[in-house]
């Protein structure tokens, strides 16, 4: 089985990190292919970059010429999953949904710890649209930008643990979700210090995607995610 | 006051029609500038085109070099408004929100009549995100594609009226919203036959945008719609 | 176009202030007629006075003998709008709804700052009934009574700004709504100090009412706001 | 114990009928005093009459000079309960809330059968405000006006049973609530034919009011229902 | 009329206390029979004991051979009420629902003060399922275990009052519900010190059960609470 | 890895069927142990049996003496999962949650097709409590009892497909969930005829449980699912 794991920003080192996290949890026989978008911003920290990433991820997957069995969109709280689902028959798993869905099996309420405060409403909106917000205790910001996570992982862990502890004591979270694709790989360190289960979306998405494939399940094509109708395009895709 | 009214598809005749509808309701002294996206699909009837339109509308507005006082995104139920709000200080009004908001002043519940069934969930999602769904009785599909509306307006009116009547009798709607930018100009004909107020999003958006400008109100920059942070872009914008 | 702006209390100076605020934002050609209820309390700060105001506003509008194009009910969070909508075909705009609806175009979440704590649940209830509460971050009390606003505007501004700042930092509001008709005219001063858009309901209602009239839209008469059935009245209206 | 049961319309025969229904279920030692409002409409079938009734019920209770232990507002889905709660320390029970609350002890979902279709949204709104709508399957109209119920009880029972059966089979209701004070006394006949528990709001309210009094419970005065602040009134109360 | 009041734990002194509280509020002519479950834990402070209590209460009621008119399940936030409703035609009143329903007649919002923090989510879940959570401001823990309540009532009152005061000032509760069957009898002391109405579930349930019986109302048998279908049981009931 | 899959009824052939379905989807290296409860009813079709099953499943797992890595509760819409989560550190996956969670990755809305109409509210309640109901279009009954499924699989498939088709066309479901553990193994046949993805809860639960184990995730012990406190038990467990 081959699973495409698509980063939402154009920072190659982050794609590499996401790929490593995915491979670490993948079953024997699963090939992880980590892709960097063909165009876009070096990090997504708001709607403009996120909308750009949405279409970049779609075009990047369309440009991939080998067969594959599932796609993971590896940005937390980003736009675009619905478009991928229209374009593909194979399962599409967004790490936002994967992590929330996973967390709900482990505790009564979960909190998300993300990067900047400005990303919080985007994540809240995506969880609401995904129908996964009823058991979300809070979405909290660590105050670190996406690229800062990579620059200083120890500082990142400390900032995330700090918010995780507040989520547990004040918001009554019982599980913590790492709310950024760039946090892939920090889950073990956070879990050790926070004393509650910590879910990484990339790892969660890999096991869910594998499970869907093994069950022979594919994206429903009857309505919302029906294949796009034929269109005439102007100036698209870019040369 | 100058208001940009941006179509979401690349069909120029539809931009023209939207522009005429906007101009018809605009106050003396308001200049309507109708724009066609620089790239994209000739109609938006699903998530793929809609996400493409989202970024196309943003780039089109960014490429507009004259001053303006407000922007109207003239696609019903499409993605992207939040990105525009980040990029701009002036008010951004999406016709989805404008029409729903207007309908709520006229009746206890409203229904939206749109084009194809596959567009219904997109509209429902946008209304939910906008916090404007509590008084929405239903979103109904006329069964006509976007471009078919223009080809045969009489047939379009008949199909919309048919759904409007069902919305009133079965779903208990008291107001009808025309759920497609391409329906601009059909409101009078539908209103006459449906016996209830009929709201066109383009007209509604123009009066709302004018009102916001007259009150000196601008997009809040403290959190969700804060100006994007500086980024490095790869292969973007397209040549 | 003539718009009736009806105060909910019987304090004439407050009617005057509301009228000035309305006139300041009205378009050329719009005549604002500010009315004081024929009976009622000198301020509304609870359900008893508010219910009395509801029926007083209706009787005051019924007693107005000149033609008019729209009515604005200029009390924040008060009862009665639905009754006016039954009695009239022209649009009825309550400043509670107008301000909330306007705020939602400017930010992801808004907070209302009102007078006394006891008014908070009334406002919450009206926003819930109006279907406008989903994006309301909080309703906060400044601690000042309605008539105190007029007595010491500088103190009023300070108290409102204090709550506005807490709404932004603690409740994550991005826009502030002035939650009392008696705050009309304070918006500029609050906006300057709070650093976020500040919406005054009277101003918002005027632009919305004008917009509805220009679009030729009227109150739906098919169900909830159908004209009252003929009744026999006992001891009503009062001599 | 003395309980005031206040009709919302000025039709004395309906007050008498409500009083009989209340007395039939009252405990030994409970005195039921049925009151007709001092002013208002002969039936309430919409917001205008309902708002008038709200204030009329309050003034009627204020004018009652003997001591009493609880008040029942005997109109289904009408405005005004919150005002009574402000004015009084003793418990106030609205039959809308009493019936819904009672029905929820008897089945998973309940439906309300009321008079005219135009009353349905008022009832839905009151149930929503009362926090009692989550287990409401539907509010249905029998198509009969308030005064028609009294004129032809057999026809009323047939129309109510017809809607009750549809509520059970289509809306999955397990309990039926009689949604009009004027239906007091029809519960036995409807119950016999509908095959499910049928709740009459007047009877329910009497047992609830008695229970509150026996427990020594009174209306909370800390916030929403705090005693009204002193006001200056203009032209009120009417001579 | 005979009402069974069934404790959920096997501590006889707690059954006695619940029985006394029930008898104190019961009408003349009502016989209270307080039952201790045939099996189970000496206190319920989590899901395992609560599920065990659910089935123990059912078997205990099934084993009761005398006629009775209603059953009260006297555990706060415990499982099992729906099963009792299936087994019986007479009304079943859970003290969780009874107290919440009663509190809603007395104030705009109520809070529950219970024992341990771990019980809070169970109570929240039961209120949500019962459709009684919309007006719940908060569920707070006193930090005392169930059996500690009996050991030191003065300490219990102090801990409950402390949380009640925070509920009123911080969560905007207007009424307090005692969230444990073991708190029966503490309501007067808490009420005196908290300054708001305090509802004890056992007392509330008795008056509600009596009211249902007096109205001739029984559990609906059309769907959710239909009598169980015939089954073959293995190793059940226990010897 | 060893996963316990626990049937909720005492019909051994159904345990066998569930075990086969689980084994078919399990990864190499996963051992499926299918358990029949030590006591209980031969089928669960209502709350009484379901509550009995809840405690039976817990006692059965407690009596299992070998090590294991996860537990699957293989009854659809049944009580008890929270108790298992308290008793265990390893992940607990209920097929109700597993199937809903899986379906949400495949379409915008899903419907559940279950056995009898009386089971529908139980399932709706469990989905609501699990926070998985927002994207549930409907829960529909096939009209067949649990044991009838096994007796005549062809008839079962036909009845399920019939409801699935109505769910798609009328309720706008895009994915179908088989709402009974006894339907394990019918998914392929239903999928072929219904034209949309069909999710079987047992298969879904196995892949999810495996994924949780592979990620090293365990049940959170900080609050709701903390290990039960020590108790004195009377007459329990049964001899």
Same fold, A2-94+203-214 and A96-201: yes
* Contact by Cβ (8 Å): C215, C226: no
CA-based nearest distance F27→chain A, Å? 9
Predicted local distance difference test score (pLDDT) of residue F148: 92
Nearest to E46 by CA among E13, E77, E83, E84: E77
pLDDT digits (tens, 9 = 90+) for A10-41: 999 999 999 999 999 999 999 999 999 999 99
Predicted local distance difference test score (pLDDT) of residue A184: 82
Rounded to whole angstroms, the Cα distance separating D91 from D225 reads 11
Strand pairing class (C70-73; E2-6): unpaired
pLDDT digits (tens, 9 = 90+) for E38-60: 999 999 999 999 999 999 999 99
CA-based nearest distance F192→chain A, Å? 12
Radius of gyration of chain F (CA): 17
Is residue B94 over pLDDT 80? Answer: yes
Is residue C239 over pLDDT 80? Answer: no
The secondary structure of residue A56, as a DSSP letter, is: H
Predicted local distance difference test score (pLDDT) of residue E150: 86
pLDDT digits (tens, 9 = 90+) for E196-205: 999 999 999 9
HSE-CB for C54 with a 13 A CA cutoff:
28
pLDDT digits (tens, 9 = 90+) for A171-195: 999 999 999 988 988 999 999 999 9
pLDDT digits (tens, 9 = 90+) for B168-187: 999 999 999 999 988 988 99
- Cβ of C108 under 8 Å from any chain A Cβ? yes
Is residue B237 over pLDDT 80? Answer: yes
Predicted local distance difference test score (pLDDT) of residue D184: 82
* CATH code for residues F2-94+203-214: 3.40.50.12500
Contacts of D145 by beta carbon, 8 Å cutoff, 6+ apart? C229, D43, D45, D115, D116
- Inter-chain CB proximity E218 and D204 less than 8 Å: no
Closest residue on chain B to D140 (Cα): B172
CA distances from E51 to C7, E48, E226, F232 (A): 57, 5, 21, 16
Task: Select from E12, E39, E48 the residue whose CB has the most chain F CBs within 10 Å, as the one to mutate to test that interface.
Answer: E48
- Cβ of B222 under 8 Å from any chain A Cβ? no
Closest residue on chain F to B120 (Cα): F172
pLDDT digits (tens, 9 = 90+) for A63-109: 999 999 999 999 999 999 999 999 999 999 999 999 999 999 999 99
Predicted local distance difference test score (pLDDT) of residue C185: 84
Is residue A239 over pLDDT 80? Answer: no
- Inter-chain CB proximity A48 and B86 less than 8 Å: yes
Domain residue extents for chain A? 2-94+203-214, 96-201
Contacts of A172 in chain E (CB under 8 A): 120-121
Predicted local distance difference test score (pLDDT) of residue C82: 98
Nearest to C156 by CA among C166, C165, C147: C147
- Cβ of D218 under 8 Å from any chain E Cβ? yes
Contacts of A139 by beta carbon, 8 Å cutoff, 6+ apart? A111, A112, A114, A120, A123, A124, A127, A179
CA-based nearest distance B117→chain F, Å? 10
SS3 call for E42 = coil
The answer to whether D and C touch (≥3 CB pairs < 8 Å) is: yes
CA-based nearest distance E161→chain D, Å? 16
Rounded to whole angstroms, the Cα distance separating A18 from D227 reads 61
Task: Tell me how far the alpha carbon of residue F238 is from its chain's centroid.
Answer: 26
Q: Residues A150-158: what's their mean pLDDT? A: 92
Q: Strands of chain B (E only): list them.
A: 2-6, 31-35, 40-41, 70-73, 92-94, 110-114, 136-141, 175-178, 198-200, 233-234
CA distances from D227 to B136, D61, D84 (A): 37, 15, 10
CA distances from C171 to A119, C135, D59, F189 (A): 16, 11, 40, 51
The answer to whether F and C touch (≥3 CB pairs < 8 Å) is: no
Helix, strand, coil content of chain B in percent (nearest 5)? 45, 15, 40
Contacts of E120 in chain A (CB under 8 A): 172
Domain covering C2-95+203-214: architecture: 3-Layer(aba) Sandwich (3.40)
Nearest to A119 by CA among A49, A170, A35: A49
Is residue C217 over pLDDT 90? Answer: yes
Rounded to whole angstroms, the Cα distance separating B199 from B73 reads 16
Is residue B150 over pLDDT 90? Answer: no
Task: Select from D211, D224, D225 the residue whose CB has the most chain E CBs within 10 Å, as the one to mutate to test that interface.
Answer: D211
Neighbours of chain D (3+ CB pairs under 8 A): B, C, E, F
Interface of C with B in 171-190 (CB under 8 A): 172, 174-175
Nearest-CB residue to F217 (from A97, A106, A133)? A106
- Cβ of D170 under 8 Å from any chain F Cβ? no
Task: Select from B13, B39, B45, B48 the residue whose CB has the most chain A CBs within 10 Å, as the one to mutate to test that interface.
Answer: B48
- Cβ of E46 under 8 Å from any chain A Cβ? no
C147 phi and psi, to 5 degrees? Answer: -75, -20
Q: Residues C118-126: what's their mean pLDDT? A: 97
- Inter-chain CB proximity D223 and C40 less than 8 Å: no
Nearest-CB residue to C51 (from D79, D229, D238)? D79
Handedness of CA A160, F134, D105, F83 (dihedral sign): negative
Q: pLDDT below 70 — which residues of chain F?
A: none
Predicted local distance difference test score (pLDDT) of residue A150: 86
Closest residue on chain A to B48 (Cα): A83
DSSP track, D175-199: EEEE-SGGGTT-HHHHHHHHSS-EE
CATH number 3.40.50.12500 given to F96-202: yes
Contacts of D112 by beta carbon, 8 Å cutoff, 6+ apart? D76, D99, D100, D123, D127, D136, D138, D139, D140, D176, D177, D178, D179
Neighbours of chain F (3+ CB pairs under 8 A): A, B, D, E
State the 10-residue block means of pLDDT for chain D, 239 residues long.
98 96 97 98 97 98 98 97 98 98 98 97 98 98 93 94 97 97 89 94 98 98 98 94
CATH domain A96-201 topology:
Rossmann fold (3.40.50)
């Amino acid at each position: 089985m081959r699973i495409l794991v698509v980063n939402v920003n154009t920072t190659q080192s982050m794609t590499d990190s996401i790929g490593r996290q995915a491979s670490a949890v993948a079953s024997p026989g699963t090939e992880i292919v980590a892709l960097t978008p063909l165009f876009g911003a070096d990090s997504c920290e708001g709607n403009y970059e996120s909308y750009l990433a949405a279409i970049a991820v779609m075009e990047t997957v369309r440009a991939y010429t080998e067969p594959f069995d599932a796609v993971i969109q590896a940005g937390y709280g980003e736009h675009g999953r619905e478009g991928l689902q229209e374009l593909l028959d194979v399962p599409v798993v967004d790490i936002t949904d994967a992590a929330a869905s996973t967390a709900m099996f482990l505790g009564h309420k979960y909190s998300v710890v993300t990067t900047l405060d400005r990303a919080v409403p985007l994540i809240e909106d995506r969880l609401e649209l995904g129908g996964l917000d009823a058991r979300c205790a809070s979405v909290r910001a660590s105050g670190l930008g996406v690229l800062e996570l990579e620059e200083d992982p120890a500082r990142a862990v400390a900032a995330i643990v700090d918010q995780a502890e507040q989520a547990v004591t004040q918001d009554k979270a019982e599980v913590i979700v790492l709310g950024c694709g760039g946090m892939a790989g920090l889950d073990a360190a956070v879990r050790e210090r926070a004393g509650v289960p910590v879910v990484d979306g990339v790892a969660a998405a890999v096991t869910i995607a594998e499970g869907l494939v093994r069950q022979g399940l594919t994206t429903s094509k009857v309505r919302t995610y029906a294949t796009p109708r034929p269109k005439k395009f102007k100036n698209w895709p870019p040369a």
